[in-house]
């Protein structure tokens, strides 16, 4: 499959993840009388990954996340030479998804970007007021576990056809635990999309949601190569 076509698939998939996940938080989480709440938002993020994994998994592998691409590279499952195309497509997809959400949300007279557009944050911008250290640990650990699940579920020895379910449920569980701490990132593209529109504090705190998921992803890739005793060689 040509790299450009795979990058387009990643753009579409990441846009869906940001629009579907962040959109559930902005538009539906506390909608009067029928709000979906934290549980609904968590499953919305999981469902975006699950649906796209079955849709574009055969085209691009459905990374939808720079940390996933980096983790797969660290685990010997993705070419370093293709990282740039995937990551650029994911970032642009995240911004596009957030842009569509912004256009829709701004049609409500009570909407304000001061609400954050589901941006990630710590300290005063953490949903639960959690500290920088809490956010740092949360993003490293949650991304680490997410990548271990992805790498294990998609390993050639794992049961075929079930990986999207495992990965989608894992992302939902991660959100159930960590939304109060950082609004849950584990995905730099997901964090970048809303931050571009919110600006200010969201952009100033964005570094954490790039650095920590990448650290967690690389650690997971290294562990995977040892724990699963991978015999395949890293792609050139």
Residue 207's CATH number: 1.20.1080.10
Distance CA(30)–CA(115), nearest Å, equals: 13
Q: Is residue 232 part of a domain?
A: no
Q: Are 57 and 165 in contact (CB under 8 A)?
A: no
Q: Tell me, what's the pLDDT at 231? A: 54
Q: Is residue 72 part of a domain?
A: yes
Q: Are 55 and 13 in contact (CB under 8 A)?
A: yes
pTM of the model: 0.93
The number of distinct structural domains making up the chain is 1
pLDDT at 32 over 90: no
Q: Is residue 233 part of a domain?
A: no
Q: Is residue 36 part of a domain?
A: yes
Q: Is residue 140 part of a domain?
A: yes
Q: Is residue 107 part of a domain?
A: yes
pLDDT at 177 over 80: yes
Q: Which domain holds residue 45?
A: 3-227
Give percent of the chain above pLDDT 70: 97
Q: Give residue 95's pLDDT band: very low, low, confident or very high (50, 70, 90).
A: very high
Q: Is residue 235 part of a domain?
A: no
Q: Tell me, what's the pLDDT at 1? A: 87
Q: Is residue 200 part of a domain?
A: yes
pLDDT at 64 over 80: yes
Q: Give residue 30's pLDDT band: very low, low, confident or very high (50, 70, 90).
A: confident
How large is the average pLDDT for residues 100-129? 95
Give the CA dihedral 110, 205, 87, 20, nearest 10 degrees: -30
* Least confident span in 28-42, 68-82, 113-127, 161-175: 28-42
Please give the mean pLDDT across all residues of the chain: 95
SS (H, E, C) the chain: CCHHHHHHHHHHHHHHHHHHHHHHHHHHCCCCCCCCHHHHHHHHHHHHHHHHHHHHHHHHCCCCCHHHHHHHHHCCCCCHHHHHHHHHHHHHHHHHHHHHHHHHHCCCCCCCHHHCCCCCCCHHHCCCCCCHHHHHHHHHHHHHHHHHHHHHHCCCCCCCCCHHHHHHHHHHHHHHHHHHHHCCCCCHHHHHHHHHHHCHHHHHCCCHHHHHHHHHHHHHHHHHHHHCCCCCCCCC
How large is the average pLDDT for residues 127-135? 97
Q: Give residue 13's pLDDT band: very low, low, confident or very high (50, 70, 90).
A: very high
């Amino acid at each position: 499959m040509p790299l450009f076509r795979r990058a387009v698939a990643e753009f579409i998939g990441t846009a869906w993840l940001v629009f579907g996940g962040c959109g559930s938080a902005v538009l539906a989480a506390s909608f009067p009388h029928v709000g979906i709440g934290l549980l609904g938002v968590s499953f919305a993020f999981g469902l975006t990954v699950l649906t796209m994994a079955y849709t574009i998994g055969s085209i691009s592998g459905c990374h939808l996340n720079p940390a996933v691409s980096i983790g797969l590279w660290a685990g010997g499952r993705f070419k370093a030479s293709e990282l740039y195309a995937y990551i650029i497509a994911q970032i642009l997809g995240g911004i596009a998804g957030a842009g569509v959400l912004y256009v829709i949300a701004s049609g409500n007279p009570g909407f304000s970007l001061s609400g954050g557009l589901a941006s990630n944050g710590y300290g005063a911008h953490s949903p639960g007021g959690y500290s920088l250290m809490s956010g740092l640990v949360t993003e490293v650990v949650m991304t680490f576990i997410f990548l271990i699940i992805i790498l294990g579920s998609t390993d050639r020895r794992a049961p075929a056809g079930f990986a999207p379910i495992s990965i989608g449920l894992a992302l939902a569980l991660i959100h159930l635990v960590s939304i109060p701490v950082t609004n849950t990132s584990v995905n730099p593209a997901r964090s970048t999309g809303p931050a571009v529109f919110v600006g200010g504090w969201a952009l100033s705190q964005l570094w954490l949601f790039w650095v920590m998921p990448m650290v967690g992803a690389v650690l997971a890739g290294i562990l995977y190569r040892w724990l699963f005793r991978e015999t395949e060689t890293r792609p050139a």
